[in-house]
Chains A and B, each alone.
Chain A
Amino acid sequence: MGMNNKIRIATTSLAGCFGCHMSFLDIDERILQLAELVEFDRSPLTDIEHCTNCDIGLIEGGVCNSENVHVLREFRKNCKILVAVGACAINGGLPAMRNFITLEDCLNEAYLSGIGVENAHIPNDPELPLLLDKVRPLHEVVKIDFYLPGCPPSADVFWKFLTDIIEGREPFLPYELIHYD
């Protein structure tokens, strides 16, 4: 736990759309209650660049490139409980629908032969992360401790999970909170 005995949470989005983050914020006024109990480490909600010693890491999105792998590893190393949040983190989701097309075809379409392409070339700046041949769910790259399904998981799912943890219970999602869509 962080200072003040608050539960420290880090969040990030890999190959995701931030929809899960938006849904998290839908806990609305409960966020005040949450703020009493938790503090945020690395997250789009803060300006912290790297996470350190967190209790919970919430990750939305699958793994589509080398940078995703590095971030995921940082989270795994620094979070006691690592949570795959949402459909993309769990099974690759929408981005994984490119898995049925070769990377070559994808890049050709986007950078070489697609409609409206000018100055056709495949980006090769060393600063850019390279794409993996397939988008992977998180559990195929690091060990995952818990899963919050949904596209996105509803605010109540986040709330139930976090309150279970805060109150020292084994997290459990009842039927009404399990949705894959």
Chain B
Amino acid sequence: MSKSITIDGQSIPFIDGQTIMEAATAAGIYIPHLCHHPEYTPHGSCKLCNVKVNGRVCSACTFPAMEDQEVLSNTAELINDRQKITQMLFVEGNHFCPSCEKSGNCQLQAVAYHLNMLDNYFPLFYPTRKVDASHAEILIDHNRCIFCTLCVRASQEADNKDIFAISGRGINKHLIINSTSGLLRETDIDIKDQAAHICPTGAILIKYTAYQVPIGERTYDHTEIDQVSLNLEKHGHE
């Protein structure tokens, strides 16, 4: 008899060692997330995947699945909170989608679409942040960084490098780059590195590829992120 948990009333199996997120994904249930990626160590910082486990709020991407868990994910309360958390990410940085080449392929934007987010709700911070265009092939636009650390983890875990880190505290958090000048040009990042391609937003971009796929034909233009994510991440597991 396999072990199981319920998510929104639906019983799903899990194996020991799986997180709630992993069990859900394997069972074809999408829980919104941005900092989570099945290939990297769970981080649990964006808090979009927060679910209620037996009444207590837990991050699905880090919390282990255990027998007798009743997980709530698609409740009106959690959906509302997720939308607010996404709005927080939007007002914290400078996310001008019309002028961003990632638009349509951006997970931050896609999660917002999925949550039916029409506005920013909060006052905007308009922080002054820089663009690092020093590297010949890769561009960093700090305005769009959401501190998910996926590039940090990908660089360490997949590329065996240490190109990125998140520095600072509180609202002053920022992405830093491992070179004497702090510029990407002086690192040993390679365009083939996972870290160059992992960014869920438009903060790390590959140059000269911007409009190879026209707006309107991009990943999330017609397919919701729940479908895209489940397809990708289920395959990732197999």
Contacts and interface: CB of A to CB of B under 8 A. Distances in A.
Contacts of A148: 118
Contact of A91 (B95, B109, B113, B222): B95
Interface string B111-123: 0111011111101
B97 A84 contact: no
A57 to B, nearest CB: 16
A45 B175 CA distance: 47
Nearest to A19: B98
A169 to B, nearest CB: 15
A69 to B, nearest CB: 16
Nearest to B225: A175
B163 to A, nearest CB: 26
Q: Is the interface of A mostly helix, strand, loop or mixed?
A: mixed
B124 A180 contact: no
Contacts of A90: 118-120
Contact of B118 (A92, A136, A137, A178): A178
A175 B98 contact: no
A94 B96 contact: yes
B8 interface: no
Contacts of B215: 181
B91 to A, nearest CB: 8
Contacts of A87: 96-98
Interface residues of B, number: 29
Interface centre among A87, A144, A148, A178, by most chain B C-beta atoms within 10 angstroms, is A178
A74 interface: no
A93 B98 contact: yes
A165 interface: no
A52 interface: no
Which of A97, A136, A149, A180 lies at the interface centre, i.e. has the most chain B CB atoms within 10 A of its CB? A180
A97 B104 CA distance: 21
A96 B126 contact: yes
Given A90-B119, A147-B118, A173-B118, A137 B96 contact: no
A137 B162 CA distance: 39
By CB atoms of chain A within 10 A, which of B98, B103, B116 has the most? B98
B97 A180 contact: yes
A94 B119 contact: no
B116 A178 contact: yes
Nearest to B112: A180
A181 B103 contact: yes
A175 B123 contact: no
A93 B100 CA distance: 11
B111 to A, nearest CB: 12
Given A97-B96, A134-B126, A181 B104 contact: yes
Contacts of B172: none
Nearest to A151: B98
B98 A181 contact: yes
B90 interface: yes
Given A87-B96, A94-B98, A147 B119 contact: yes
A166 B25 CA distance: 41
Interface in B107-149: 109, 112-114, 116-121, 123-124, 126, 128-129
B126 A151 contact: no
B224 interface: yes
A180 B114 contact: no
A140 interface: yes
Of A139, A149, A179, which is in contact with the most chain B CB atoms at under 10 Å from its CB? A179
Nearest to B121: A139
Interface of B: 90, 94-100, 103-104, 109, 112-114, 116-121, 123-124, 126, 128-129, 215, 221-222, 224
11 contacts: A90-B120, A91-B90, A96-B126, A97-B99, A100-B94, A139-B119, A139-B121, A146-B118, A176-B222, A178-B113, A179-B221
> Sorted from nearest, which 9 A-B pairs have the closest CB atoms?
A151-B98, A180-B97, A181-B103, A147-B119, A147-B118, A99-B126, A181-B97, A178-B113, A100-B128
